[in-house]
């Protein structure tokens, strides 16, 4: 085990395409940072985000783990309750959250787990979710 892997969870630095990157282990295998960047930047979601907001999304935000989602094969899907915009899933198939507790919509995943309903489909709010939590 190398020092980078011990300190940061990375292994084998590479210099593909003139950009220093690291492959890092995750539950779903190795994912090269270069392949992540190339894939996500060529995605429809990325293009729509830039078109909508006039800037690139922060792929390093602590609010959402884009790398883990990408490595797991999760891709954004159209949300009919948000003008058909592309949205990322909240969790991995095993239930591991991809959204951090600080993400403004993290509560929606837990609402769906409790009720089996999409909060946007039924008009539920975060206040409704908080009431549900109190009843449990």
Give yes or no for a contact between 19 and 34, defined as CB atoms under 8 angstroms apart: yes
CA–CA distance from 100 to each of 9, 38, 61 (Å)?
Answer: 20, 24, 10
Q: What is the pTM of this model?
A: 0.74
Per-residue pLDDT 10s for the chain (136 aa) are 343 333 344 444 443 443 334 444 444 455 789 999 999 999 999 999 999 999 999 999 999 999 999 999 999 999 999 999 999 999 999 999 999 999 999 999 999 999 999 999 999 999 999 998 888 6
| Distance in angstroms (rounded) separating the CA atoms of residues 43 and 87 | 12
């Amino acid at each position: 085990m190398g020092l980078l892997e011990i300190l940061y969870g990375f292994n084998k630095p590479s210099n593909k395409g003139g950009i220093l990157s690291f492959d890092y282990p995750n539950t779903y295998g190795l994912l090269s940072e270069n392949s992540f960047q190339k894939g996500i930047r060529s995605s429809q979601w990325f293009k729509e985000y830039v078109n909508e907001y006039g800037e690139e999304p922060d792929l390093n935000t602590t609010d959402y783990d884009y790398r883990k989602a990408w490595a797991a094969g999760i891709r954004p899907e159209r949300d009919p309750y948000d003008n058909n915009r592309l949205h990322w899933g909240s969790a991995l198939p095993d239930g591991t959250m991809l959204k951090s507790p600080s993400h403004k919509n993290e509560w929606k995943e837990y609402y769906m787990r409790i009720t089996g309903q999409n909060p946007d489909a039924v008009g539920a709010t975060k206040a409704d979710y908080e009431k549900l939590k109190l009843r449990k």
